[in-house]
Structure 1
Amino acid sequence: MTSTPRLSLSISPHLTALALLADAVGGRRRGLPGLWRDAIAARVGRAGHQAVRPLSVPSCSLAPDCLVPRVPDGGDVSVQEQLAALRELPPDRLVADLEQAFGPGPLPVHWRSAAERPAAWLHGYASALSEVWSIAEPLWQRARALLDREVRRVGVATVRGGPELLLGALSPHLSYGGGGLLVPGPEAGTQELGERRIVLVPMLAGQDALILGLDGGDAVWIAYPVPGAATLWRRPAAPAYDELSALVGPVRADLLCAVARPKTMSMLAADMKIAPSSITYHCDRLRAARLITRERRGREVWVGRTHRAEELLELFHRR
């Protein structure tokens, strides 16, 4: 067993998309600001919401390996590479990974529907990651300086012999000592590293986010919030319209602006030249994100903005 852990770093942004998805849609609250959580939840479609349901169970943090089919052990992994790997994954692989994760016997209830329809689950999960990335990519581009600084910080710690201190500061929920990692959660325990190296993967995520890959034979990986990420949540990019559209989708952005004063569903359909069924679908998603209200008055349903929506529009200077 080595006395000093060997560190490397991977810039693999798909883990940022996974962390945001788990927080905003899976309900694993890890410090993501409420407005971003609501906007991401509104952006992910029905298939994505259904696929993420197994991740919302608070008593179980185990998940199949195919959540991250392209692991960062061998270097950087782009979102596009990750999505391609997910879409090419045989459905039987998901079933096998679930059996490996949870052992013999019946699967946990929350994963059974995925095992029964693995192809549909993989499609929904890949779609959800893609939809989250459509929101997160502008934020990722603005984080270049933070990521470069983190590369230097890890490099200095490695060269100067201080990796133990660095590992202890990654997350309040993770500690290192005696050649092992003390991991949190319902399956908490100590993972012995042996001769395996540690791959660090900085993420743009809530301050309590943490994703671990501990099963690799040559390396383990730790995805953690990059220091300073909180400053990005408060600084929208220009132009504001493009950013808001990326957050909630162009149709929903226009819909939010259209209800500066309450309107009926039929008025919205006529004003926006969109089929009533589509208006209903988009309103369902915005209501789920607590960005609009709906009130029936006689035979008409009136749509209005919530205080959360007003805050979101103010953030992006839209009215």
Structure 2
Amino acid sequence: MSGHVLHLGPPDRLGVQVRTHPGATVFSVLRDALRAAPQGLPARWRAALRSSVPGGAVEVVRPVLFQRDCWMPDPLALVPELTAYGLSEVGARLRAVDPDRVAAEADGHFGGAPPAGWRAVVDAPRGFLDTYASVVDAVVDALGPRWRQAQPLLSRETERVGVAAVTGALDVLLGTLPPPVRYEPGRIRLAHACGVQRLADRPLVLVPLVSGYSAGMYGVDRDDVVWFAYPVPGLGTLAAGSPRGTAGTGRGPLDLVMGPVRAHILRRLPHRPSLGQLGDELSLGPSTLTYHCDQLAAAGLLHRQRRGRQVVLLATERGAALVDVLEE
């Protein structure tokens, strides 16, 4: 991914926050449910959500959500602000948006010649917002049980980021963010064209999503914050029907920051395990285990060494130091 760059500066000077923002989750879910953009929703979630949306409203809303570029007015992306509020308030906050302001922003973005799918926003913004809000309300109702079920995961993610901040492991945590962003020392590469920018004095806000496995959003052009939204770790436990998911896993700082699988790998590195040994211990297939090891290697925490027919894993100096700090 080449993309564009957001310069962060030294990780020990970052102001990182976590917000469990329901609007971002609803927008992500909505885009997948209306087949505007895949977000990795499990098929049965998608079907249930899609069936809950008013049929006539879909044709009005879907063209606005189906875009090739990354631009979307913050109110329509359901993130006009990043303050905490309840899931049930998402539709009401959308209805409170100034329709003329949204229309003017859209008209300006398209140079006074908006595409056909955006004509409803520009020509009849109040009607569009009301229709959009009815779709959002339907998604909120369908999503409600899943959102409540995910609260332990969201709380755990807040704890994970907090531990990373106080132990000096924020750069490692940022390295676990999935596409459409990629962390590199001192900067983040963005998938879409948003120009070269600097974080400056803005806080970096992480927004975990109760959406699909490949969900991802970000906003870098606001004056108050820069934010990244990503799937909350443990979503697979919700798909399997377990509301508490990770309750039986280790809860030490290393587990919180890295997740139980990667924490196990890091703990085993002093013994120079082979990929086969780790696969047996973790009950993981080769592709899944390789993915985790690739992420740890990209973060500079391990490296591989071939010995005959086997590939063994060894800790780097940085990986060993991270385990020492977090295990303490």
The TM-score, its normalising length taken from structure 1, stands at 0.67
1:27 aligns with 2:33: no
RMSD: 2.3
CA contact (8 A) 2:74 2:80 kept: no
Q: Quick one: structure 1 residues 119 and 220, their matched pair in 2 at CA, closer, same or farther if it must change by over 3 Å? A: same
Other-structure match for 1:114: 121
1:226 aligns with 2:232: yes
Amino acid at match of 2:114: L
Deviations 1:113-138, CA, capped at 9 Å, x for gaps: 32112112111111111111111110
Q: Quick one: structure 1 residues 176 and 98, their matched pair in 2 at CA, closer, same or farther if it must change by over 3 Å? A: same
Inter-partner Cα distance in structure 1 for 2:68 and 2:166: 39
The one of 150, 155, 173 equivalent to 1:166 is: 173
Other-structure match for 1:89: 97
Deviations 1:180-205, CA, capped at 9 Å, x for gaps: 432214x3654421221111111111
The one of 31, 40, 54 equivalent to 1:45 is: 54
Deviations 1:236-262, CA, capped at 9 Å, x for gaps: 88xxxxxxxxxxxxxxxxxxxxxxxxx
Other-structure match for 1:17: 26
Amino acid at match of 1:95: A
Deviations 1:178-234, CA, capped at 9 Å, x for gaps: 64432214x365442122111111111111111212222121111211011122123
Aligned residues: 234
1:153 aligns with 2:165: no
Q: Quick one: structure 1 residues 37 and 70, their matched pair in 2 at CA, closer, same or farther if it must change by over 3 Å? A: closer
Amino acid at match of 2:87: V
Q: How does 1:204-223 map to 2 (within 5 A)?
A: 204-223=210-229
Instruction: Report deviation, 1:71.
Output: 3.9
CA contact (8 A) 2:88 2:140 kept: no
Instruction: Report deviation, 1:90.
Output: 2.5
Q: How does 1:165-204 map to 2 (within 5 A)?
A: 165-177=172-184, 179-185=186-192, 187=193, 190-204=196-210
> Which deviates further from its counterpart, 22-31 or 173-182?
173-182
Amino acid at match of 2:179: P
CA contact (8 A) 2:63 2:118 kept: yes
Instruction: Report deviation, 1:26.
Output: 4.0
Q: How does 1:60-99 map to 2 (within 5 A)?
A: 60-68=69-77, 71-73=80-82, 75-99=83-107
CA contact (8 A) 2:104 2:122 kept: no
CA contact (8 A) 2:205 2:227 kept: yes
Other-structure match for 2:145: 138
CA contact (8 A) 1:201 1:223 kept: yes
Q: Quick one: structure 1 residues 161 and 71, their matched pair in 2 at CA, closer, same or farther if it must change by over 3 Å? A: farther
Q: Quick one: structure 1 residues 137 and 69, their matched pair in 2 at CA, closer, same or farther if it must change by over 3 Å? A: closer
Other-structure match for 1:281: none
2:75 match: secondary structure: helix
Which residues of structure 2 form unaligned runs of 5+?
A: 1-7, 244-328
Amino acid at match of 2:160: R
CA contact (8 A) 2:78 2:90 kept: yes
Amino acid at match of 1:163: L
Amino acid at match of 2:101: R
The TM-score, its normalising length taken from structure 2, stands at 0.65
Amino acid at match of 2:123: E
Deviations 1:44-85, CA, capped at 9 Å, x for gaps: 003431343134535222111221465454x31323333222
Inter-partner Cα distance in structure 1 for 2:202 and 2:60: 33
Q: Quick one: structure 1 residues 19 and 69, their matched pair in 2 at CA, closer, same or farther if it must change by over 3 Å? A: closer
1:182 match: secondary structure: strand
Deviations 1:81-114, CA, capped at 9 Å, x for gaps: 33222112222021122145x2534223432232
CA contact (8 A) 2:177 2:183 kept: no
